[in-house]
């Protein structure tokens, strides 16, 4: 890969990754694939949120990778070669804690599960992020977004507690804002009414509602085009990808 051409995004346009349907097909360089994706996962976790979604998708095929999966993993390497100096920047600013959440409903073609993502900012500084396939099949966009907000709420709760222990109480004097681009999911958080569209949702996800009514969280709407967590739930063409990497203060 030393002399490969760089790529403008971590995922080639038009690529579709599916599980191998033929159990007799020999796994394609399984050991090399595991090693490569393991290294990319470490990088995506500690400093490169711009590849987190793609790497999360690739990690689904550890058990039986084949040629298309390896080529997709190498595309991430080509992207990193074109932008090897990607670093998160941290600036002093106001004392605020804010979390953006997003979900891509039924986006996994293998089992129709949705993807969740959150991006937690301390002021303008990105301090935590996650891109992860949901554990249950969501029956609507509202449910997928609600589950994504719950994941963000748990991360917010941890960081509020950590900041208090460190003596930074100015960050926890008021509710932490969670930004979401789905108004139906926000309505479900703010209203305890159990109705036909929500009674099937697992009770553990109503943790979010409890935190909201306990005045620890505030839920606000953000337009989809301004939701920086989008980069953690789907792939974008070059222009959209560059806009979102800039929005999370990732410099090259």
The pLDDT value recorded for residue 25 is 57
Alpha helices (runs of H) in 47-191, residue ranges in sequence order: 52-58, 67-82, 141-165, 183-190
The SS3 call for residue 107 is coil
Q: Where is 128: in which H helix or E strand?
A: strand 125-133
Q: Return the closest-CA partner of residue 146 out of 200, 98, 108, 189.
A: 189
Pairing state of beta strands 250-251 and 87-88? antiparallel
pLDDT band of residue 203 (cuts 50, 70, 90) is: confident
**Per-residue pLDDT band at 119 (split at 50, 70, 90):** very high
CA dist 46 and 56 (Å) reads 14
CA angle 190, 216, 155 (to 5 degrees): 100
Give the residue among 143, 124, 127 at the shortest CA–CA distance from 135: 143
Instruction: Quick: pLDDT tens for 2-26.
Output: 677 889 999 988 787 888 766 655 5
Q: Of the given ranges (37-46, 84-93, 226-235), which has the lowest mean pLDDT? A: 84-93
pLDDT tens readout for residues 139-164: 899 999 999 999 999 999 999 999 99
Which residue bears the tokens 């090259």? Answer: 252
Confidence of residue 165 (pLDDT cuts 50, 70, 90): very high
Q: Is 150 exposed, middle or buried (0-12, 13-18, 19+ CB in 10 A)?
A: buried
Percent of the chain surpassing pLDDT 70 = 93
Question: Tens digits of per-residue pLDDT, 48-90?
Answer: 999 999 999 999 988 788 888 889 999 999 999 999 888 898 8
Measured in degrees and rounded to the nearest 5, phi and psi for residue 122 equal -105, 100
Phi, psi of 102 (to 5 degrees): -155, 160
Beta strand spans in 6-136 (E): 87-88, 97-104, 115-122, 125-133
- Residue 158 three-state SS: helix
pLDDT at 195: 62
Question: How much is the pLDDT for 26?
Answer: 59
Domain residue spans in the chain? 1-83, 97-251
CATH class entry, domain 97-251? alpha beta
Report pLDDT for 2.
66
Q: What is the pLDDT of residue 95?
A: 75
pLDDT band at 196 (very low <50, low <70, confident <90, very high): low
């Amino acid at each position: 890969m030393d002399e490969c051409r760089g790529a403008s995004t971590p995922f080639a346009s038009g690529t579709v990754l599916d599980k191998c349907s033929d159990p007799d097909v020999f796994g394609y360089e399984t050991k090399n694939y595991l090693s490569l994706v393991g290294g990319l996962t470490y990088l995506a976790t500690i400093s490169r949120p711009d590849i987190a979604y793609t790497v999360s998708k690739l990690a689904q095929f550890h058990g039986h990778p084949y040629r298309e999966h390896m080529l997709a993993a190498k595309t991430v390497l080509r992207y990193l070669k074109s932008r090897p100096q990607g670093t998160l920047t941290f600036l002093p600013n106001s004392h605020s804690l804010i979390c953006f959440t997003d979900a891509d409903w039924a986006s996994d073609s293998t089992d129709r599960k949705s993807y969740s993502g959150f991006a937690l900012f301390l002021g303008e500084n990105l301090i935590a992020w996650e891109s992860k396939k949901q554990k249950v099949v969501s029956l609507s966009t509202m449910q997928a977004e609600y589950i994504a907000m719950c994941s963000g709420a748990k991360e917010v709760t941890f960081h509020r507690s950590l900041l208090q222990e460190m003596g930074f109480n100015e960050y926890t004097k008021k509710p932490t804002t969670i930004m979401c681009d789905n108004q139906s999911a926000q309505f479900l958080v703010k209203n305890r009414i159990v109705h036909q569209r929500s009674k099937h949702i697992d009770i553990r996800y109503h943790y979010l509602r409890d935190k909201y009514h306990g005045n620890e969280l505030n839920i606000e709407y953000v337009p989809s085009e301004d939701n920086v967590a989008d980069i953690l739930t789907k792939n974008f063409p070059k222009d959209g990808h560059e806009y979102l990497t800039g929005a999370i203060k990732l410099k090259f």
